[in-house]
Amino acid sequence: FVRKVKSISIDQIKAIFDKYLEEHPEAWHFSAAHSFAQAIWEALEKL
């Protein structure tokens, strides 16, 4: 998991988070920290 995170740029992380929020409006009521963690987790599962 850590190796995957180290290979992702800040711009990619922002794009992952933006895409997650765009595709999951039902998650907008969760905290930003929760949504961010979920977005990164789902993206890294696909790698």
Residues in the chain: 47
The answer to whether residues 24 and 5 touch, using CB atoms and an 8 Å cutoff, is no
**Confidence band of 44 (pLDDT split at 50, 70, 90):** confident
Does the structure show a pLDDT above 80 at 47?
no
More reliable by pLDDT, 36 or 7: 36
- pLDDT value at position 8? 82
- pLDDT value at position 2? 56
| pTM of the complete model | 0.79
Burial class, 2, CB count within 10 angstroms (exposed 0-12 / middle 13-18 / buried 19+): exposed
